[in-house]
Amino acid sequence: MARGTAVSRMEPLRVVGRPLPRHDAWDKARARTLYAADWQMPGMLHGAVLRSPYPAARIARLDTTRAAALPGVAAVLTAQDVPNNTLWTDVPGQTSAVGRLRARLQVLAEDRVRFQGEPVALVAAETPEVAAQALELIEVAYAEQPGVFGPEEALQAGAPRVHEEGNLLARWQVQRGDVDAALGRAHVVVDQTYRCQFVDHAYLEPEAGVAWVDADGVVTIRVSTQVIEHFRDVAEVLGLPHSKVRVIAPYIGGGFGGKEDVTVEVFLGLLAWRTRRPVRMVWSRQESLLARPKRHPFILRYRTGAAQDGTLLAQKVEVLADSGAYAYLSALVLLYATVTAAGPYRTPHVAIDARVAYTNNPPTSAMRGFGAMQMVLGYESQMAQVARRLGLDPVELCLRNALRKGDRLPIGQELDTHVAVAEAAQRAWTALGPRRAPARPSHRIGRGLACNIQPYGRIVWLHDWASAWVGFETDGGVVIRTGVPDVGGGQASSLCQIAAEVLGVDPARISIHIADSALTPLAGTTTATRQLYMSGNAVLHAATQLRRQILEVAAQMLETPADRVDLRESSAVTTAGRRVSLAQVMQECARLGVPRDYLGTYHAPAGDPVDLERGGGRVFPDYTFGAHAIEVEVDTETGAVTILRHVACHDVGRAINPQSVEGQIQGGAVMGLGYGLMEEVVVDRGVNLSTSFAAYLIPTSLDVPDVESVIIQSGEGKGPFGARGIGEPPIGPPAAAIANAIEDAVGVRITELPITPERVARALGLVTDGDRG
């Protein structure tokens, strides 16, 4: 067992740090990867979900008789057929009076529906066509009810209640110093409100899976998920022992947090258990866009006070978030927002009040950046305005206030690793190079900077851990087994690189088996920018212990002290150059009965829940810092904004695979550009108007430039070899950097996302409300 410190610093590194192609890329480039929807089983049925057309309604009558009688229908299920239809949750460490949260998981609607698209009934049939026909034969009489469609409205007295106990879902507050007094004596105070929107993960692979009841009654579900440990949720819903449900995650066609909550697996489990036949369920894009949880829209009010020289004195932040109809992970999303609300800056006086409310909008939950990313629009728009008001260069203002190692966040946590904010800001800004000339006289060029702080690893009081088994085969090859779902970020291949480094084998000699809750040691979720940190440390620990075991045997074979034997090129090699192959060493291990494997578990630094209002303390293991610099061209006749250059700089501690790191930075930055410029799930009084890719626009290759990534390697992260997590951080800065660049170009401040040409044109006075329609 390793706790907290499994950081190895073997130098020089031979495999870690090289931009190696991933093993899974070969299958993907040859279209051999079998994703969740590609799986078929003999005698397979097809599952489908009936969803509510109304955002708020009572179910007056639900009759499945005609559907069940349709030839080819094997099962029709409603809430009363589900053994445990509601799973509850509570959030340890919550500061407000809000207690146990409503419905971590509501399987099927009971007497009422709370959002458009809420699942009401399930069908399994011989063909997808029959399943679709059966859905149409289910008779539901809805009685529409008054709903609430925004968090402000939801918290007003007398608002219709989404759940019986009221619409305030969670509240977190932080107080440090005397923020009002400090704002009173500030030389400049910027007071601004920002609004950000619902967005969708829009992974290219819609939700899908296949379930079957395997030997000994084990419900087995092969599903596109970031969390194989949802086997427990499925078991609880079905009323089965946890050990009777098995979840397997194949390579996943993108997740970004959207496959963190359950998707199809509970429905599949119910249908397969009921019919005792294999069942496949594949959601259409339209269904995915309609009904899957989105990113939380936030309303942010920031009051930021600074002294004349730019030193930040105070930040007063109010957050109001829309949870939609169910809790999902809203309380934790809001905690991330609270912890990072003051940004990566020293601020002596801080007050944060963050609330999240239920509405009859689509539910919101995890998405890359998880509450911390929405805050960047607030604190970085504020910094740019403070700089303008004081006539300071944005980089200079950043340097004056940037957090450093040893500083404390407003929540009281000390930063005990390198903090690269200042360096990242300087490097990103410099890399923009000379300012470009506008393409036309009516165009203006502008530049914006935005820095960010994003946690990696889970909240310390969740006591996170990850396990990995590493073993040698007798031919000298290596096998890794670990329950890591691979969402496409190179999760599995980075683990191979770590093991290859420690064990002296070519990564091509390593086979890795991942993400099977029955057969691979559990490694937790591929969320929260935690897999490289957690499972990377677990593999490092296991491989290091395994190396020790076999080095003794190799040393005996080579008649050399173990401290003078190295493992490299699939051999044990003495300092004098004598060598024996690892295959021979393994055969000797077998003869001697020396184990050739090791099960390693890494426990993250743990802590008790902290009371944020009374001093706080450590909430996350560590943070990743970065800065993006963006150059835009604004068309002053149309409001169109073109991104000319985008430099994204992050301290990744150590790049285990620089190609994967660059891929994360470039992909995250472009997802952030989409969020900043074009993406929005438009919801009109609870009705989702963005249920197709023709309506929900994500960036194409023509909407974005080549993102230049600048990688800082401080060597001070808490992951293997000093790595920090980089999955989520790059999505944070782009929206604020664009807004800041637009103000630099044309002098108007955009405070609402996405920054469409229409919004810019309105800010420029090119259109007024009178022009609408």
Partner 1 sequence: MTELRIVFTLNGERREIQAPAHRTLLHVLRDDLGAVEVKEGCGEGVCGTCTVLLDGEPVSSCLVLAGRAAGRDIMTLRGLGDGDAPHPLQEAFVTHGAAQCGFCTPGMILTAYAFLQENPQASRSEIRRAIAGNLCRCTGYTKIVDAIAAAGREAPPRG
Binding of partner 1 by 283 (CB under 8 A): no
Encoded tokens for 273: 């258990």
Q: Which residue has the tokens 């923020």?
A: 179
Provide the CB-side half-sphere exposure for 428 (13 A, CA). 37
- Which residue, 32 or 772, has its beta carbon nearer to partner 1? 32
- Which residue, 155 or 695, has its beta carbon nearer to partner 1? 695
> Binding marks (x or -) toward partner 1, 285..314, rule CB under 8 A?
xx----------------------------
How many residues are given for the chain? 773
Q: Which residue has the tokens 């397969």?
A: 272
Binding of partner 1 by 18 (CB under 8 A): no
Q: Of the ranges 48-56, 101-109, 284-292, 460-468, which one interacts with partner 1 (CB under 8 A)?
A: 284-292
- Which residue, 36 or 159, has its beta carbon nearer to partner 1? 36
Q: Which amino acid is at 233?
A: D
Binding of partner 1 by 666 (CB under 8 A): yes
Q: Which amino acid is at 236?
A: E
Which residues, at least 6 apart from 88, have a Cβ–Cβ distance to it below 8 Å? Answer: 100, 101, 102, 103, 104
Q: Of the ranges 132-140, 183-191, 200-208, 444-452, which one interacts with partner 1 (CB under 8 A)?
A: 200-208
Q: How far is the CB of 34 from partner 1 (least distance, A)?
A: 7
CA 409, CA 341: separation in Å to the nearest integer?
A: 10
CA 425, CA 733: separation in Å to the nearest integer?
A: 11
Q: How far is the CB of 637 from partner 1 (least distance, A)?
A: 23
Residue from 76, 72, 65, 63 nearest 130 by CA: 72
Contact 633, 705 (CB under 8 A): no
Q: How far is the CB of 427 from partner 1 (least distance, A)?
A: 19
Reported as type and span, the H/E element at residue 331 is: helix 330-340
Is-cis flag, bond preceding 250, omega within 30?
no
- Provide DSSP, 234-295: HHHHHT--GGGEEEE--S-S--TTTTTS--SHHHHHHHHHHH-S-EEEE--HHHHHHHS-BP
Site size toward partner 1 (CB under 8 A) is 57
What letters, b where the CB count within 10 A reaches 16 and e where it falls short, cover 309-322? ebbbbbbbbbbbbb
- Binder among 204, 439, 508, 682 for partner 1 (CB under 8 A): 204
Encoded tokens for 760: 């810019």
Binding of partner 1 by 663 (CB under 8 A): yes
- Binder among 13, 33, 311, 438 for partner 1 (CB under 8 A): 33
Binding of partner 1 by 216 (CB under 8 A): no
Binding of partner 1 by 531 (CB under 8 A): no
Binding of partner 1 by 25 (CB under 8 A): yes
Q: Of the ranges 34-42, 158-166, 570-578, 598-606, which one interacts with partner 1 (CB under 8 A)?
A: 34-42
Q: How far is the CB of 686 from partner 1 (least distance, A)?
A: 24
Residue from 257, 254, 211, 216 nearest 234 by CA: 211
SS3 103: strand
Q: Which residues are registered as beta bridge partners of 480?
A: 470, 512
- Binder among 107, 384, 487, 687 for partner 1 (CB under 8 A): 487
Neighbours of 438 (CB within 10 A): 16
Q: Which residues are registered as beta bridge partners of 635?
A: 443
Binding of partner 1 by 488 (CB under 8 A): yes
Contact 515, 283 (CB under 8 A): no
- Binder among 38, 139, 191, 506 for partner 1 (CB under 8 A): 38
- Binder among 29, 132, 141, 519 for partner 1 (CB under 8 A): 29
> Binding marks (x or -) toward partner 1, 674..713, rule CB under 8 A?
------------------xxx---xxxxx-x-xx------
Site for partner 1 in 242-271 (CB under 8 A): 251-254, 256
Binding of partner 1 by 28 (CB under 8 A): yes
Q: How far is the CB of 248 from partner 1 (least distance, A)?
A: 17
Q: How far is the CB of 674 from partner 1 (least distance, A)?
A: 9
Which residues make up the interface to partner 1 (CB under 8 A)?
19, 21-22, 24-35, 37-38, 201-206, 251-254, 256, 282, 284-286, 487-490, 659-660, 662-663, 666-671, 692-694, 698-702, 704, 706-707
